[in-house]
Chains A and B, each alone.
Chain A
């Protein structure tokens, strides 16, 4: 396994701009999760995918946020009309649904740090 990767690692944008982040999960992991972590807090769940299907979205995910996982591989998280309150670390994690060692364990990427000016 090469691990979960995220791109970019850092993003600075101006309020009102749109941003998109990418997550590449560990290959063959069925599930992919997005979390948001603000300073001094633990990560909070945003949404998750099982293969290409988005199965749950947190109430934290406003209409300005959209996530996709086409073909059940990489995922993107887009934030439209960014606000200063969107400044946070956005974390991606993936896990194997069933079968094999580590089933269900979530492996995290390094995160994308978003700063909205």
Chain B
């Protein structure tokens, strides 16, 4: 059982370039999330989704877009990368509210560097 899988695990971009991070989960979870982790800041929520075809903004959504075309996949896009987006990105998923108490299952992270 793979759980939550993120690709790519590492990426280096130049300022202004675009890219997409892919998150896939095989646990049939309804909810999916994208967080970024920066030193001394903990994890901050970028966007989340409560089901296929839905997305919502989190705490730090600016400069990112997301899509949830399939239940098992959640894509995070950067249209024009900036050095401030250098970070480690984590995808997570969870059951819907009726079946869980909030526990998130995390991927191993994607380290992005923007030069």
Pairing of A with B = no
A-to-B contact residues, CB < 8 Å: none
B-to-A contact residues, CB < 8 Å: none
